Amino acid sequence: MPVSDSALMEPKSLSAETAADARLEIKNLNVYFGEGSERFQAVKNVSVSVQQGGSFGIVGESGSGKSTVLRAVCGLVESWDGEIDIDGAPVSHKRNKAFARKIQMVFQDPYASLHPRHTVDRVLSEPLKLHGFDGIDGRVLRALDDVGLGADFRFRYPHQLSGGQRQRVAVARALMLEPEILLLDEPTSALDVSVQAEILNLFAELRKEHNLTYVMVTHDLAVVAHMCDEIAVMQFGEVVEVMDVDAMRNSTPKTAYTQELLKASMGYDAEFFGDS
Amino acid sequence: MTTAPVKSNVPSRSGLKAWLSSDAPASRGHARAVQLYLGWLKLYENKLAFLGFLIIFSLVLIAAFAPLLATTEPNAQDLSKRLLAPGTSGHLLGTDELGRDIYSRLVYGSRITLLIVGIVAFTAPVFGLLIGTVAGYLGGWVDQVLMRLVDIFLAFPRLVLALAFVAAIGAGIESAIIAISLTAWPPYARIARAETLTIRNADYISAVRLQGAGIMHIIVGHIWPLCLSSIIVRVTLDMAGIILTAAGLGFLGLGAQPPEPEWGAMISAGRKFVLDQWWVAAMPGMAIFIVSLGFNLLGDGLRDILDPKKSQS
């Protein structure tokens, strides 16, 4: 089994064989907010590696820095250091249009991620125009079809759509540039349970169809268990554990924090809360 | 309207109306037409705003057809007929101190008013919007520099700055327009910046950044549409003030020069006779009042109309 040097240097990256053909690799990522004495380090020395076609989950409680990792990867947060490699090539702090065609992101709140004055048509055709694609009409219709919305929805405004429909539009938008990696920032947490399942199934289908690599942030362990192959658990800006999904299902995590998290996800536990 | 054949299988309603109120438009043009039609319906339903719209629309028509509507040349003097009361045969609104027909002068004066209002409305808000959104979106030192500039302009008394400017480049209608534009933009920049700050970190802005869009693309295509309704409302509400400032400059002799039939200059000329021949000053005053009222009424209703969310409930 070939073992790359970079994998050896990174104790927290997955295993040597996955690091070798990693699609997205994050090494020693630190993200800071604020300046001077108010400087706050939101992400500390995070290293993960996502393999081609994989689906990687990042879980943790609110404020653990998991969304910030995604925002640094896609370039929305610029105050980071460390290394982010895509297909082995490090990305710079300023991103270009070619980068946009590699990575796209689906946001948490479908009520906030669509421009209130733009029709679905404009939302979907804009990235195509920006990148000079041709056959825009056909692509827009196909994208709507891909995410299970009909052509009827094309000229609607976001306020004329339900939460699930909005999230489908947001997914379609992320796919317009035919990216290889999709960053999902709690894509179902703002939706009700039945719609959550629909959207998760949609993600699963699209992954197969378009050969996508997912990095998904969530605090919902059930979603992770359903969607992901590998999971990183974050706490206070650090990755405390990386495990595969079977380890999580079998509740055999190594660290105490992960065990707590798993226990908490099973619902209210009188013993855990120490009713005394 | 009923002659348009119903080609599609739209049930009931006449063809055009059904086409315009379709909830699943077939093309971009169709979608835009539907949006315009719904906006029109909203305007029509709001009686006061519609009244304002009618007043402004009439002003435009009067300005366009001034030669047809006026009974005499606006500057034709007839000293034998000076200071005739309103209603005197041939002079609906009376005559002024040089025997000129006040009605005809008002009709021609609408062109000047519309020119001032039009130019100011298309320069000051656009400039203010650009400054405000750039400052708000970029933040940092750009924001600091631009907003301090705005502060300086805001600190000047409006009419005094306009006066100083007119004094510097000479009296006339053009300098009045430039002076008013120069003093009118800072409030728009303030509004636009405040709106930009609330939306610059929204997810939909992040999404378009992720698509690789440039700064100006984001500002013009994504931030402007959200600032536009408050700006437009503010413009219509400011229009009254702009007309009054122009009239004020005219009144002080620094705007339109005689014999131009500018409404403010007409009031100025009439103030010498205001006790005995009240109509000389009152008639242009009334015209200013009606047009200002029209803009105010329209501005009040425009916010509802411009929001697609509200036009469809």
Residue of chain A with shortest Cα separation from B222: A115
Q: Check B206 against A76: CB less than 8 A apart.
A: yes
| Nearest partner of A216 among A73, A20, A92, A70, judged by Cα | A70
Chain B 34-73, residues with CB within 8 Å of chain A CB atoms: 34
Torsion of CA B212, B214, B215, B216, to 10 degrees: -140
B190 with B150: CB under 8 angstroms? yes
Per-residue confidence at B147, pLDDT binned at 50, 70, 90?
very high
Token pair 């998991």: residue? A66
Selected residue with higher pLDDT from A179 and A190: A179
pLDDT band at A7 (very low <50, low <70, confident <90, very high): very low
Confirm if A239 and A12 have CB atoms less than 8 A apart.
Answer: yes
Under the banding of pLDDT at 50, 70 and 90, the label for residue A17 is very low
Q: pLDDT class for B36, splitting at 50, 70, 90? A: confident
Predicted confidence (pLDDT) per residue in B276-297, tens digit = 888 888 999 999 999 989 998 8
Q: What is the mean pLDDT of residues B99-115?
A: 91
For residue B97, report the phi and psi dihedrals to the nearest 5 degrees.
Answer: -70, -15
Q: Where are the domains of chain B?
A: 29-312
Give the pLDDT confidence score for residue B199 in this predicted structure: 92
Note whether A104 contacts B: Cβ–Cβ < 8 A.
yes
Contact B212 A126 (CB under 8 A): no
Position A249 scores a pLDDT of 74
* Beta-carbon count within 10 A of A44 CB: 16
* Whether the predicted pLDDT of B121 surpasses 80: yes
Predicted ipTM?
0.82
pLDDT at A15 over 60: no
Which of B 217-246 lie inside 8 A of A, CB atoms?
217, 221-222, 225-226
Q: Greater confidence, A139 or A252?
A: A139
User: What is the mean predicted confidence (pLDDT) over B215-241?
Assistant: 88
Let me know if B51 is exposed, middle or buried by CB neighbors in 10 A (0-12, 13-18, 19+): middle
Fold of A22-116+180-264: Rossmann fold (3.40.50)
Each residue's pLDDT tens digit, A205-218 = 888 888 899 999 98
Please tell me the class of the B29-312 domain: mainly alpha
pLDDT tops 60 at residue B308: yes
Mean pLDDT of chain A: 83
Q: Return the residue of A nearest to B24 by Cα.
A: A152
Closest by CA position to B279, among listed B106, B64, B71: B106
pLDDT at res. B62 = 94
For residue A253, pLDDT beyond 80: no
Tens-digit pLDDT profile for residues A59-118: 888 888 888 999 999 888 888 888 888 888 888 888 888 888 889 999 988 889 999 989
- Pick from A107, A159, A170: which is nearest to B309 by CB? A159
pLDDT beyond 70 at A38: yes
Among A185, A225, A170, smallest CA distance to A66 is for A185
Q: Given pLDDT bands bounded at 50, 70 and 90, which one contains residue B146?
A: very high
Contact: A107, B217; criterion CB under 8 Å: no
* DSSP H stretches of helix in chain B: 15-20, 28-45, 47-64, 66-69, 102-138, 140-155, 158-169, 173-199, 203-210, 215-218, 224-251, 263-270, 279-306
- Chains A & B: contacts with CB separation below 8 Å: 81
The whole-number pLDDT of residue A273 equals 59
Report whether pLDDT(B229) > 60: yes
